[in-house]
Amino acid sequence: MSAMIRAEPRYRPSLYLVAALVLVAGSACFRKPKPQPAATPTPDANAQIEEILKRYQAAVGGEEAIARIVSYQGKGTFSASMANLWGTGTYEVWGKEPDKTLSIITFTPTIVIKKGFDGTTRWLQTPAGVVDEPQTEMAEIERDADIYRVGKIKTLYEKMILEPKARLHGRDVYVIEGKPARGPSDKLFFDEKDGLLLRWDMVRRNPKRGNVFVKVHLEDYRDVDGVKVPFKVRFAFESFDLTLKIDELKHNVTIDDNLFKKPGT
């Protein structure tokens, strides 16, 4: 999920969910991707992919409703399936256009992690101190921030391929493979009935340790100011699950820019 040349209003309701993924990625199992057979989408398949993506955008509220969201504030809880992986905790998030974000994740009263971007500097604060985050790593993490915008989804991939329909939790789903310019493919599963995105099988690259594979389940969609947001998101890694639940979400709140600045500056 990366910055754009032109500062236009963009809705980022998933950024705080991805923040937790960043924190646990180092504990996940790493493996090399399996080779995938090459496939070339037909004109008919391309048209169907376009229709699926447009239907998804309409299902979450439509382009105009999404564009009206220029800031947000949210809070919730998280829990891990492994007791020794922090157990449970809380998180708070703030976002403001263009490109300002802050996440505060609390594991215990003494273990608090803050992650921010003031539009220029990306930073991370842990009990050990404050450091700048590498631009290259953040670029990978930020890929999915604008998943509600069809145009943004299409920019993530060099090629999109329509796969055969599948069943997911008793529901018929369209399956789209997204092939980026480099690295293994993602897969997106859209509900055939209501058009919503139900699961996203994604890969996160780690420069030192390889690829992290995770299935992101998007559940409990609720309407907030005309935009549907998944209030429950489950990250299924190879060795554990991490579940986040939203308790409160507000749009278009007034936020002081100083909130996003790196501590000590």
| Spatial CA neighbour of 188 closest among 140, 156, 211, 212 | 156
66/251 Cα distance (integer angstroms): 11
CA atoms within 13 A on the CB side of 213: 13
The pair of structure tokens assigned to 85 is 């992986």
Minimum mean pLDDT among 16-25, 40-49, 91-100, 174-183: which range?
Answer: 16-25
H/E stretch holding 253: none
- Give mean pLDDT, residues 191-207: 86
In the CATH scheme, what is the homologous superfamily, with its name and number, of domain 15-260? Lipoprotein localisation LolA/LolB/LppX (2.50.20.10)
pTM: 0.77
Q: What is the pLDDT of residues 118-172, one digit of tens each?
A: 999 989 998 899 998 765 444 444 444 445 556 678 888 899 999 999 999 999 9
- In this model, does residue 241 exceed pLDDT 50? yes
Could you tell me the pLDDT band of residue 203, with boundaries at 50, 70 and 90?
confident
Is 128 in contact with 114 (CB distance < 8 Å)?
A: no
Q: What is the mean pLDDT of residues 60-70?
A: 89
Beta strand residue intervals within 42-170, DSSP E = 71-80, 88-96, 100-108, 111-117, 122-126, 129-132, 159-168
For residues 41 and 231, the model is more confident at 231
Grade residue 67 by pLDDT with cuts at 50, 70 and 90. confident
Structure confidence at residue 54 as a pLDDT band (50, 70, 90): very high
Instruction: Report the percentage of the chain scoring pLDDT > 90.
Output: 42
Cα Rg of the chain, angstroms: 18
Residue 125 CA to residue 80 CA, distance in Å, equals 22
On whether the CB atoms of residues 187 and 162 are closer than 8 A, the answer is no
pLDDT tens figures, 150-164: 667 888 889 999 999
Residue 24: count of CB within 10 angstroms of its CB = 19
pLDDT at 16 over 70: no
Residue 91 is which amino acid?
A: Y
Please say if the pLDDT value at position 27 is more than 80: no
Query: Band of the pLDDT at 26, cuts 50, 70, 90?
Result: very low
* Tokens (6 digits) for 36: 């995938």
The candidate with the shortest Cα–Cα distance to 218, out of 201, 199, 192, is: 199
CA 71 to chain CA centroid, Å, is 17
Question: Using an 8 Å Cβ cutoff, are 13 and 192 in contact?
Answer: no
At 68-96, the pLDDT tens digits run 989 999 999 988 776 555 578 898 999 99
8: pLDDT strictly greater than 50: no
* Cβ–Cβ < 8 Å for 130, 112: no
257: how many CB neighbours lie within 10 A of its CB? Answer: 10
